[in-house]
Amino acid sequence: MSNFDSNPFADPQDSSPFQDPSVTEATANTRGGLEEFNPFEDTNKQQTPGSKTTPVAAPLPVKPQQQPAVMAPTSELPPAYTQSAAQPAVTEGAAELQRRQEELERKAAELTRREQQMRSAQYNTRENNWPPLPKWFPLQPCFFQDFAVDIPLEFQKVVKLGYYLWIAYTLVLLLNSIFAVVYLGVAGGSSAGVCFGLSLVALFISTPCSFACWYRPMYKAFRSDSSFNFFLFFFIFFFQFMVTVVQAIGIDQFGTVGIINGLSMIGAGSKGDSNSGMVVGGLMLMIGIMFGIVAVLDLLYLFKVHALYRGTGASFSKAQEEFAKGVVTNPGVQTATRQAAASAVSGATTSMFSSGGGGAAAGNNRM
């Protein structure tokens, strides 16, 4: 049983067909040729058949060390920035919008402030604040003046211009009094004394009168759109314009130093070789020029206010109505009217009773 074969018909000497020597040699040569093949070797090199070479493993490529990428610094300047054609228009439009926005915010803040002040004025009486005098001064302010509260926004610049014009006129009157003293000291004489005295009168009377007679009516005219105050301002301010022109001429009897007495002082100084007379005459001439400048500004301001007055729709009939209404509603006029009526009634009653008493006495005498 040990010699049992699974194939009884097989050759006992030929156990495997692949163990044939010819097959074994063929397979060995084929494997050797494949192992010795190198495509990178010279094609002209001839191999010795049957020779065997030991293949050498190719060296592995060396991996470079990985480092973070670093950009090399450069010293080149960036190219010059050039604006496009549309950019200036966009910039100008943005600036215009910004300006309008700021103006609207300013107007809104001013209106809010005025509303708050008017709301508070309904409960609290407004205290007079002009002229700005200290608390310890015996005289107290006589008027209330606040351009932001009383005057509409579109007329504030005009009213302020009138206020500055009044200040300029006051300063010229002050300088006129100072140089009138110098004129009296250098020239002497009765005419220079009269000029100095009248200059003080003009300073202490014309200053408050001009404020109360033309500036305050103009202020109230723009505050309440009053035609009557406009007419009052036009009449008195035109009169002041004429007075300022006369003051610029420089007549001693009008209390001003100006062109005429200044030139006469310069002539007297040149004849007598007096440098002081020529210097004083030049200063007096300068005061006359200042009066002339104020007169020109007065005329221009009069035209400007008149143009605004025509634009408000005011008229003389409206001024008459305001005057009549103001007279009727004036507390002083009402009090005087009541007193006059009471006096008339009491007088009539007294005369009636006195005449009645006299008639009764005459009847008794007849009896």
Q: Whose CA is closest to 183, among 289, 286, 331, 75?
A: 286
In a domain, 257, yes or no: yes
pLDDT at residue 188, as a whole number: 82
In a domain, 183, yes or no: yes
In a domain, 114, yes or no: no
The alpha carbons of the chain give a radius of gyration, in whole angstroms, of 58
SS3 content of the chain, % helix, strand, coil (to 5): 70, 0, 30
Burial of 336 (0-12, 13-18, 19+ CB in 10 A): exposed
Please report the beta strands in the chain, taking only residues with DSSP state E, as ranges in sequence order.
none
Q: Which residues of 112-135 are buried (b: 16+ CB within 10 A; e: fewer)?
A: eebeeeeeeeeeeeeeeeeeeeee
Other Cβ atoms closer than 10 A to 287: 26
pLDDT at residue 17, as a whole number: 60
Average pLDDT score over residue span 324-336: 55
The residues, any chain, with a CB within 8 Å of residue 326's CB and separated by 6 or more, are 228
In a domain, 271, yes or no: yes
Residue count of the chain, please give it: 367
- Taken in order 294, 296, 297, 299, the sign of the CA dihedral is positive
pLDDT at residue 284, as a whole number: 93
Output 281 or 349, whichever has higher pLDDT: 281
Q: Percentage of residues in the chain with pLDDT exceeding 90?
A: 31
Output 120 or 50, whichever has higher pLDDT: 120
CA pair distance 26, 358, nearest whole angstrom: 187
Question: Would the pLDDT of 335 be above 80?
Answer: no
**Structural domains counted in the chain:** 1
User: pLDDT of 176-213, one tens digit each?
Assistant: 999 999 999 888 888 899 999 999 999 999 999 999 99
pLDDT at residue 226, as a whole number: 84
In a domain, 301, yes or no: yes
Burial of 262 (0-12, 13-18, 19+ CB in 10 A): buried
Other Cβ atoms closer than 10 A to 143: 13
Residue 276: pLDDT band with limits 50, 70, 90: confident
In a domain, 236, yes or no: yes
In a domain, 177, yes or no: yes
User: pLDDT of 284-313, one tens digit each?
Assistant: 999 999 999 999 999 999 999 999 888 766
Domain range for 261 is 162-327
CA pair distance 162, 215, nearest whole angstrom: 7
In a domain, 192, yes or no: yes
